[in-house]
Structure 1
Amino acid sequence: MTQNEPTGEPGRHMSAEIAEQPEVFARLLDRRTEIAEVARQVAERRPRFALLAARGSSDHAALYAKYLIEVLLQLPCGLVSPSTTTLYGAEPDLTDVLLVSVSQSGGSPDLLEVTEAARRRGALTVAVTNTADSPLNRAAELDVDITAGKELAVAATKTYSASLLALYLLVDAVRGGTGEAAAGLPELARATLDGSAEAVEEAVRRYRFVARMVTTGRGYSSATAAEAALKLAETSYLAARAYSGADLLHGPVAAVDEQTGVLAICSEGRGGAAMREVLDVVRGRGADVCAVGSAAAQVPAALRVEVPACAEELAPVLEVLPVQRLALGLALARGGDPDRPRGLAKVTRTR
């Protein structure tokens, strides 16, 4: 599909791909044995720390993986700056380091170069992609196929959530888990999409004319806040900024007022509990708060989009679903076509 190719009804691809996610999760869960084999090889190498390389929505999946690795594996973990390799030619010693490259297409030149360079420098490299025969998969020593199927909308939806689940299954298997906590996700995803529809429609009506939004979350949900801001910016052209709840209170909250919409990701667990104080401050400044997540009913907000509860480390897989629907609805309400955001293509090639 080219930028000028007609797509029929605006948003039809994005809408269909959002609805497809329960089936995508079921397919991915059926491949737990294959992912566990990759995890076994990672565990045998006993990496001393981990690095994650990604761009765009995949960068937010990598942020989620950073929490998984640091909390569940107790390994130090960092996000790679690809330009240190591609522009500055840095050559760090990566012996006994795990590098996980996350890319839906597996075709970004900078991620390919980072992965090739890391492997030469001694890293164990793992590609997590939606394209099994991509250059990135060939460059990495190991690979995980997220099996989301072809994604036609420019804005990533099913490939993003599938990346999250694949990364969880990989990290859980490295620590010796079986992925049991994720077994019910397909049904929970259906319940999330069905149960949140009315509240999302109300949020679309509420924020249709808003000029700027802040998205925020703590812990695992920081990744969802970052992805929410990207989706709102690329589909609805909103001035949306993401902050962790902690960072929001360290200065940016001064810019929050009655004209600001705040999308707060609040799921049950330590991250959601830490958001209560943040939202007390934000509400005190007059902001209009929409809380999304399994703990939405427990925080101060003008509007709540509730999501079924699950293990805290899996909450981002579910809580992003109504966020995607909100981005879709706002884009359509504001007269846009989220399948064809202006100036964007499905694969962005950077170096």
Structure 2
Amino acid sequence: MTLMRQETEEIPAAVARLLSSAPETIAPVAAAFRAFDPHVVVTIARGSSDHAAYFLKYAIELVLGLPVASQGPSIASIFGAPMKMGHAAALAVSQSGASADIVAMAKTARAGGALTAALVNTVPSPLADSCAYTLDIAAGEEQAVAATKSYVNSIVAGLSLIAYWANDKPLKTALANLPEQLEKAEALDWSFMLETVSNAQSLYTLGRGPTMAIAAEAALKCKETSVLHAEAYSSAEMLHGPVSLVNRDFPVIAFAARDAAEDSIVEIINGVIPKNPHCYISSDKSADAIQLPFIATGHPLTDALALIVPFYRFVEQLSLHRGLDPDKPAALKKVTVTR
């Protein structure tokens, strides 16, 4: 068993561990953010952590009604520009908490007046030390280079923060049930895509809203683990140029949750199928696309998050199928320290 597969199987337990301490560790931070009452939220992250932040952008905008922007770390680490952030909250997301540019941007945000919180899997760490608050995502040691359980737990930590901040009871309930739902998601089998995707030179992953963040993470994992070119697009952008590249040898994987965007994603996929029969979608609303089994968790945000778990299992299989080692992606390291 690869480390990646092992750590994917640990996701439900890691999520349960994180949520068990949330009333003591996350609720007080949420109270501080509620009292601060920011006008805007910024996120600071790179790689899979940035995709987690991307997911949280949609969650914050949907649940709290606050605009969210991604802050370019180079503003601090390369350009050294001060920022006026007196009415902002900042969430810095990192597995290691050691990347110099993320730490520099978090320090700049705090110096500019932002209320800062680090979502990290390593405490203590430079990033944790740089922020006013630290949320230990409690994923446990992650040895595989490709992030899996740390990605999921970063999102769960952020969703828990949002749920307490907004006192959102449906989201709290969905999170409480999430470990059980993720157990079911981990058992889903998407391996019927293996031959088609393995033989492709490129593919698209699609989403909209929170599932766009899932599509972005899925595309990254194709590149990281399987040396397969993949690009993530919002389904709303698919017809604005990207569809021109699609042919019979260009698979499309669409991540659709049980949310307000599902019908629009289905509509786009149905329009692409005449160019390529290898279109896959996690929805039962398309009569023509190939259905990916999914878990309905009872909440649109956790529905979206649960989709990454069977994809992680699939992409680990894909890497092995292509004669690669998903635990040792070419030219990559576990901790990327970027200036």
Q: TM-score range by the shorter chain?
A: over 0.9
Equivalent residue letter for 1:299: S
Is 1:278 aligned to 2:265, yes or no? no
Match of 1:185 in 2: 178
Deviates more, 1:277-286 or 1:73-82: 277-286
Structure-1 separation of matches of 2:264 and 2:164: 28
Structure-1 separation of matches of 2:43 and 2:99: 15
Q: TM-score of the superposition, structure 1-length normalised?
A: 0.93
Query: What's the offset of the Cα at 1:287?
Result: 4.8
Equivalent residue letter for 2:186: L
Decide which of 295, 300, 320 is 1:308's aligned counterpart.
295
Query: What's the offset of the Cα at 1:162?
Result: 0.8
Equivalent residue letter for 2:157: A
Match of 1:7 in 2: none
Structure-2 separation of matches of 1:201 and 1:330: 8
Deviates more, 1:161-170 or 1:296-305: 296-305
- Equivalent pair of 2:22/2:160 in contact (CA under 8 Å): yes
Equivalent residue letter for 1:258: R
Secondary structure, aligned partner of 1:188: helix
Structure-1 separation of matches of 2:271 and 2:136: 42
Decide which of 14, 17, 20 is 1:27's aligned counterpart.
17
Map 1:94-113 onto structure 2 (within 5 A). 94-113=85-104
Structure-2 separation of matches of 1:131 and 1:300: 45
Map 1:128-167 onto structure 2 (within 5 A). 128-167=119-158
Map 1:68-87 onto structure 2 (within 5 A). 68-87=59-78
Equivalent residue letter for 1:324: Y
Match of 2:284 in 1: 297
Match of 1:201 in 2: 191
Decide which of 37, 60, 68 is 1:46's aligned counterpart.
37
Structure-2 separation of matches of 1:163 and 1:332: 27
Deviates more, 1:210-219 or 1:280-289: 280-289
Equivalent residue letter for 1:51: V
Structure-2 separation of matches of 1:243 and 1:302: 18
Structure-1 separation of matches of 2:277 and 2:181: 31
Unaligned runs of 5+ residues in structure 2 are none
Q: Aligned-residue CA RMSD in angstroms?
A: 1.2
Map 1:247-258 onto structure 2 (within 5 A). 247-258=237-248
Secondary structure, aligned partner of 1:240: strand
Decide which of 291, 305, 318 is 1:330's aligned counterpart.
318
- Equivalent pair of 1:20/1:158 in contact (CA under 8 Å): yes
Query: What's the offset of the Cα at 1:253?
Result: 1.0
- Equivalent pair of 2:270/2:289 in contact (CA under 8 Å): no
Map 1:205-224 onto structure 2 (within 5 A). 205-224=195-214
- Equivalent pair of 2:206/2:253 in contact (CA under 8 Å): yes
Structure-2 separation of matches of 1:301 and 1:157: 31
Deviates more, 1:247-256 or 1:155-164: 247-256
CA deviation string 1:81-136 (max 9, x = no partner):
11122222222210021010000111110000000111111110100011121110
Is 1:350 aligned to 2:333, yes or no? no
Match of 2:278 in 1: 288
Secondary structure, aligned partner of 1:339: coil
Decide which of 240, 243, 260 is 2:250's aligned counterpart.
260
Query: What's the offset of the Cα at 1:284?
Result: 2.3
- Equivalent pair of 2:269/2:289 in contact (CA under 8 Å): no
- Equivalent pair of 2:270/2:288 in contact (CA under 8 Å): no
Equivalent residue letter for 2:325: D
Equivalent residue letter for 2:290: L
- Equivalent pair of 1:128/1:144 in contact (CA under 8 Å): yes
CA deviation string 1:25-62 (max 9, x = no partner):
11111022111111001111111111001000001001
- Equivalent pair of 2:225/2:315 in contact (CA under 8 Å): yes
Structure-1 separation of matches of 2:93 and 2:273: 36
State the 4+ residue runs in structure 1 displaced beyond 6 angstroms: none
CA deviation string 1:266-324 (max 9, x = no partner):
111112222011102211222511213xxx22125543221111211112321000111
Secondary structure, aligned partner of 1:52: strand
Match of 1:269 in 2: 259
Count of residue pairs brought into register by the alignment: 335
Equivalent residue letter for 1:336: L
Match of 2:220 in 1: 230
- Equivalent pair of 2:44/2:71 in contact (CA under 8 Å): yes
Unaligned runs of 5+ residues in structure 1 are 1-10
- Equivalent pair of 1:279/1:300 in contact (CA under 8 Å): no
